[in-house]
Amino acid sequence: MTKNSKQILELINASSEHYTAEQIYQKLQKTSSKMAMATVYNNLNSLYEQGLIRKVTMEGESARYDKLLRHDHLVCRNCGKIWDLNLGDMTGSIEEKSGVKIDSYDLKIFYLCEECKKKES
């Protein structure tokens, strides 16, 4: 793994945020390793292809990158903010109910976050 890849991977693993490529680029500008935007994109793609990070995609939004550790997502349907939620690994029970062997699943639970609730009322 290259030094750049390693640095990006560490940034993603250390954070509970769900950064877009743009945000990762901006974070790296504040450190000693200033990477070009294209370098950030290339490294993110290679980390994803190697199965070292997850990609969270939402319609009409840039992809966000996330750590591999099994967890699910609570997503605000208004502002799109993502929170980690750990419901445990449901692979076993999904396989039991569906009768098929699954590779992976991606669960997004939509709700209205506190801030958006305040704005609406």
Query: Which residues neighbour 33 within 8 Å (Cβ) at sequence distance 6 or greater?
Result: 3, 4, 7
Residues 25 to 44 in contact with Zn ion, rule: CB under 5 A: none
- Between vectors from CA 38 to CA 60 and to CA 36, what angle results, nearest 5°? 120
The answer to the question of residue 52 lying near Zn ion (CB under 5 A) is: no
Which CB atom, from 94 or from 116, has the smaller least distance to Zn ion?
116
Residues 36, 78: contact at Cβ < 8 Å? no
In whole angstroms, the minimum distance from the beta carbon of 62 to Zn ion comes to 15
Residues 61 to 100 in contact with Zn ion, rule: CB under 5 A: 66, 76, 78-79, 84
Size of the site for Zn ion (CB under 5 A): 7
The answer to the question of residue 4 lying near Zn ion (CB under 5 A) is: no
